[in-house]
């Protein structure tokens, strides 16, 4: 690839994206409603133990979720209090406002 990708992931797919990011380059990463931590996952949804991610973002990173969910991410996600992480608050991640928020974020990044 001529440049690293911009990666978008939602819910449990955020685990795959963060695993990928741990050893591959990216231009940006947008996590939509990610789990607050790997230990917060119920055994019925994710039966295997997964160590917490330890990557340090050297690229733009955003969390997109409803306001109450962002509060939980700020408190419980290991990057929740990182000033370099953009918090995109939307009424619903499937709403037109969510798409507009992502487009605005990408525009601000120059992507």
pLDDT tens figures, 47-59: 777 788 888 888 9
Yes or no: say if 28 and 59 are a contact pair by the CB < 8 Å rule. Answer: yes
Q: What is the reported pLDDT for 94? A: 93
Q: Compute the distance between CA of residue 72 and CA of residue 36 in angstroms, rounded to an integer.
A: 7
Summarised one tens digit per residue, pLDDT across range 73-110 is: 999 998 999 999 999 999 999 999 999 999 999 999 99
Q: What is the reported pLDDT for 53? A: 84
46 pLDDT above the threshold of 80 = no
Q: What is the reported pLDDT for 54? A: 83
1 pLDDT above the threshold of 70 = no
Summarised one tens digit per residue, pLDDT across range 4-34 is: 999 999 998 998 899 899 888 899 999 999 9
Q: Give backbone dihedrals phi and psi of 88, rounded to 5 degrees, phi first.
A: -105, 105
Strand order, beta sheet including 85-89: 6-10, 28-32, 61-65, 85-89
Strand spans (E) along 6-60 = 6-10, 28-32
Q: What is the reported pLDDT for 50? A: 77
């Amino acid at each position: 690839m001529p440049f690293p990708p911009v990666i978008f992931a939602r819910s449990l797919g955020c685990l795959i994206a963060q695993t990928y990011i741990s050893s591959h380059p990216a231009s940006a990463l947008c996590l939509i409603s990610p789990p607050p931590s790997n230990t917060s996952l119920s055994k019925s949804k994710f039966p295997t133990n997964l160590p917490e991610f330890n990557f340090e973002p050297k690229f733009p990173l955003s969390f997109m979720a409803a306001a109450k969910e962002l509060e939980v991410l700020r408190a419980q996600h290991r990057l929740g209090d990182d000033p370099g992480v953009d918090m995109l608050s939307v009424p619903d991640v499937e709403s037109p406002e969510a798409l507009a928020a992502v487009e605005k974020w990408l525009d601000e990044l120059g992507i």
